[in-house]
Structure 1
Amino acid sequence: MKKKVQIGAKEMISLMVLFEMGTSMMSIPGRNAGKDAWIAILISTVLGAMLFVCYGSLHRRFPNLLMTQYCRALLGKKAGSVLAFIYIVFFLYGGARDLRDTGILIADRTLQHTPLTVICALMIGLVMYVMYLGIEVAGRTAIIMLILLLLLGLATNILILLAGIVDMGNILPIAEHGWQPIWQVVYSQAVMLPYGEMVTFAMILPTLKKNYRANGVGVSAILFGGLLLSMVTLSNVLALGEDVFKRATYPLLSMISKVEISDFIDRIDVIGVMSVIIFDFFKIFIFYYAAVKAAEDVMRIPYHKLILPFGLIMLVSCVLMALNYQDHLQTGELVLKWLFPIFAVFFPILLLIVSWLRKTRNKKGEENVS
């Protein structure tokens, strides 16, 4: 008998926080709000936690089923299978975008003469290896990496303070242009990236040990990660100022590169690059894991036979999805605004409503029989 894969709350929270930070550390969602971006992220965190309650509620109704499985249970075999297949494409696309983001960062900051395809191939190869080892290994590794990154973040913030590059005047006055620009950014960017992407964990929640509540674990992870992301954003604004913060390709790395203490400590931006790569790796892995497990369920093919094909699909997709970096960014903005809400909000709420209606109908049927 095959042993059921299970992970604890610490592993699940670590995976969620790393996923949440992911590419958000690199691009900082909500930057269009300027010096008020940290407020937009806090608001989006609360909305993201509320959105996750929808995913957790579906898991509570179907604790042993993957998202693709209760799609069929609620919508019927044909419609449910179509929706499940569409989610496979969604997971692959999300992973491919993040893979390209990471590849561009590495090519720009560390391996300038290495082709993007080679960098992405090495990254997806590592993701495939962790997939082969299993989600339990990924969860245990996530705990270690999260602790390491938190310590590095604390040390970096201390160095930023010692370097004297923080200016409290950079965030004043708060909400100078009113709340409309902040809410606009919340809708168009900051909720979907990264909180809408957390729908991916609907494919992982069945592995959570049954003595933990999915909503409690998920909401705790989202609030903790959102607070960290807001603090990082606030640090960027304080150190860089609004203009540089909005224009910088990688605000976090721009901030860290300004640290210089007595000609003794400088060039610590390598810490930032390493941290972002680790965050991005786990986000790519979660998307990849969800796509493979969804395909295993829909296609009835053992997941280990899908590891290589799906890795190649994600690699080719990430290389061919955009002509250049600007095109990649513009496509990402459109996808976040119009496509992601369909998968992150519309379909999950639809499934929750259908499950509620079926439960109500069954309850009424039982009452009539009695």
Structure 2
Amino acid sequence: MKKIQIDAIEMISLMILFELGTSMMSIPGRDAGKDAWLAILIATGLGALLFLCYGSLHRRYPNLLMTQYSKVIMGRKAGAVIAFLYIVFFMYGGARDLRDTGTLIADRTLPHTPLIIISALMIALVMYVMHLGLEVAGRTAIWLLVFMLVLGLATNVMLVLSGIVDWGNLLPIAQHGWQPIWQVIYSQALMLPFGEMVTFTMILPTLKKDYRANGVGVSAVLLGGIILTIVALVNVLSLGEDVFQRATYPILSTISKVEISDFIDRVDVIGVMTVIIFDFFKIFIFYYAAIKAAEDVFNTSSRKLLLPFGIIMLISSVLMAQSYQEHIKIGDFVLKYIFPIFSVLFPLLLLMVSWFKKTENKKGKENAS
């Protein structure tokens, strides 16, 4: 079977689309108010450092998935438990983003269509792209990212021409001190989306060997973080702190304000389309990671897992919360207490044990000689 390989630009495109995903919809760090952009900017730097941990593990085991080198590092039984937990983590992440996307579409474009129908169509498309393969997704990601960036630039120009950008909404910076900003960085801005980048430990082995994972990953984290910072900044400048914090979808509230001389208005459809495209790729990456992890853990073909995992993700997305408010409340708890276990604790544990074992082996060889 031909080995799947993608180049740096495809990997970076997938990573950036994954980062922006639901982050474009919710804007992490909104509890910091008008300083949300600053929280995201700082979290971007911390996210780059966090990815160095993932990249270092990949450098030590370049041909292995994270679920595979977990068993090498921790032993077969403990490693298998960690690998199984990551299957649940990836499935939950994908189901959660599927619920976000379905709710957005139901609220903004198809209010009379049941949520499960919308989500079923989305997961069916994800399963189809999974069937086509990661290489197809990577090539598609390049073109869609370029299209989204051009569209975003045009939208920002229209916002400026509309006269709704007010730099006074930004000042004073850090009005309430730095403590609220640091709290938001920990509870929201770091884990969403940078902690979720641990998902790419299941994809890095497909990166062509001519490229370094740390360079590719850190570049993507920084580029995605800067884009997200700009998005948060534009939202604050256009909406003001109060509306920015209260809006369900700040980016849509901002874009809906675009109006230029009765010639251009009602362009909020651009925002809906943008969020849906970003969310699709995020769901796909979570789904892909879950399939590859299960393929390793259960020693079965990924083809046999496509439909069952799609159905599980669909049903989970619908049943995980009774309302959108409950969905957000659960998400806040998960981001603060559950995600750090998978994004920080387990990777650091694997890296430290791996380093300790390598050091012990090196001392053993020296003593033997």
- Fold match (TM-score > 0.5): yes
Q: What does residue range 165-180 of structure 1 map to in structure 2 within 5 Å?
A: 165-180=164-179
Number of residues paired by the alignment?
Answer: 369
1:369 is displaced (CA, Å) by 1.3
Q: Distance in 2 between matches of 1:330 and 1:111?
A: 24
* Corresponding residue number in structure 1 for 2:60: 61
Q: Percent identity?
A: 75
Q: Deviations over 1:281-337 (max 9, x none)?
A: 000000000000000001011101100100000000000000111100000000000
For 1:239, the aligned partner's letter is: S
Q: Distance in 1 between matches of 2:360 and 2:4?
A: 34
- TM-score, normalising length: structure 1: 0.99
Aligned to 2:126: 127
2-structure distance, mates of 1:28, 1:286? 20
Instruction: Tell me the residue number matched to 2:288.
Output: 289
Query: 1: CA distance between counterparts of 2:63 and 2:105?
Result: 39
Number of the residue aligned with 1:31: 30
Q: Give the corresponding residue for 2:359.
A: 360
Residue identity opposite 2:201 in structure 1 = A
Does the alignment pair 1:309 with 2:282? no
Q: Which amino acid aligns with 2:346?
A: F
CA distance in 2, matches of 1:34, 1:323: 28
Runs in 1 of length 4+ with deviation above 4 angstroms?
none
Which residue does 2:15 correspond to in 1? 16
Show structure 1 runs of 5+ residues with no match: none
TM-score, normalising length: structure 2:
1.00
Structure 2 distance, partners of 1:369, 1:141, is 53
The alpha carbon displacement at 1:3 in A equals 1.1
1:215 matched to which residue of 2? 214
Equivalent-residue separation in structure 2 for 1:197 and 1:31 (angstroms):
18
Paired position in structure 1 for 2:231: 232
Q: Distance in 2 between matches of 1:158 and 1:351?
A: 46
| Deviation of the 1:4 alpha carbon | 0.8
Other structure's SS at 2:260 match: coil
Rounded Cα–Cα distance in structure 2 between residues aligned with 1:162 and 1:355: 55
**Number of the residue aligned with 1:112:** 111
Counterpart CA distance in 2 for 1:366 and 1:10 is 41
Distance 1:189 1:111 in 2: 29
Letter in 1 for 2:292: K
Q: Give the deviation of 1:253 after TM superposition.
A: 0.3
Once residues 238 and 266 of structure 1 are traced to their aligned partners in structure 2, the CA distance between those partners, rounded to angstroms, is: 19
State the alpha-carbon separation in 1 of the partners of residues 278 and 2 from structure 2. 29
Q: Structure 1: which amino acid aligns with 2:67?
A: T
For residues 46-65 of structure 1, what are the alpha-carbon distances to aligned partners after superposition, in whole Å with 9 as ceiling and x for unaligned? 00000000000000000000
**Are 2:205 and 1:201 equivalent residues in the alignment?**
no
Q: Does 2:150 align with 1:148? A: no
- SS of 1:65's equivalent in the other structure is coil
Distance 1:171 1:83 in 2: 44
Find the aligned partners of 1:18 and 1:257 in 2 and give their Cα distance: 23
Unaligned runs of 5+ in 2: none
